[in-house]
Chain A
Amino acid sequence: MVNYQHRDLDRVFAALVDPTRRAILARLEREESLSISAIARPFAIKLPAVMKHLDVLGDAGLITRSKSGRTVDIRLSPAPLRAAMDWLERYERFWSPALNRLAAYAEGKEAEAQASEAAANQTGAKSE
């Protein structure tokens, strides 16, 4: 299994930032392989622009190309996406429980603050 370096991950995330590229990946996820013109069809952009997007996806390792006759078939290559997800999950496992405890702690402090505010209001009302 390929060991993904941070530089590679950066490339994957950078590729995923663009909505057109995400749409391309989503379509490739549904269909096993597509020709470049089939990929370009739903988009209101010119073929060279689509080619550029495919270059970015290819550099990130997210797609593979193979020639069949006169057309180029594009396929999804899911391993880099999974490496990106692993990265995210590792950090999520770290921070998500911490933020839950943060919320519980702050909510406890809020309850204390409200109780002491209520007590202060009562003594205030009594002294009037």
Chain B
Amino acid sequence: MTSLTLVRRIAARPSIVFDALTTAEGVAAWWGPQDLPVILAEIDARVGGAYRVRFRTLDGLEHEAFGEYLEVVRPERLVMSWRYAFGGEPEELGRTSRIEIDVRAVDGGAELTFTHAELRNEASRASHDWGWTGSLAKLARLLADTAREPHPV
């Protein structure tokens, strides 16, 4: 199951981190792959509520993602569906994926675990336990060294 998990330590209490995830002001401050202002952020962070975020990338293209909140447990858990209205990678258009965010209090602040997974079956659970960015990345680096081929386009 295709999924990506990222973990960040943040020197802020969980409720502040959660607000940054669930308010329009917060989302507008960080969403998107590049350091460009978010054009639009509409956030209704309750179960069944919707969000819509439009942002621009450095190539000048506009992208708009939207989805629905599936779980909202302040200040520790947020699950939402994710879909591009326009923009994004061509292969992503019309596909719905899932974003799961867990916020846990730790010494000195919060630990945020962010997972972007596809929404097609529940096998994704098993894959989260492993943490792709660790051993897979290592293995893939080794492989990249042993057998170089042009990248798939």
Residues of A that sit less than 8 Å from B by CB: 1-4, 6, 9-10, 13-14, 16-17, 22, 25-26, 29, 76, 78-79, 81-88, 90-107, 109-110, 113
Contact = CB atoms under 8 A, between A and B. Distances in A.
Given A26-B139, A105-B30, A109-B16, 18 more contacts: A6-B118, A9-B2, A14-B1, A29-B139, A78-B147, A79-B149, A82-B140, A88-B136, A95-B4, A97-B33, A99-B8, A99-B114, A101-B29, A103-B112, A106-B16, A107-B12, A110-B16, A113-B16
Contacts of B35: 97, 101
22 contacts: A2-B152, A6-B91, A10-B2, A10-B120, A13-B1, A14-B1, A29-B139, A78-B146, A81-B140, A82-B151, A82-B152, A84-B140, A94-B33, A97-B35, A98-B31, A101-B35, A102-B29, A102-B112, A103-B10, A103-B112, A106-B20, A109-B19
A81 to B, nearest CB: 5
A98 B17 CA distance: 13
Contacts of B123: 14, 17
B63 to A, nearest CB: 10
Contacts of A16: 127, 130, 136
Chain A contact residues, majority secondary structure: helix
A29 B142 contact: yes
B30 A81 contact: no
Contacts of B153: 1, 3
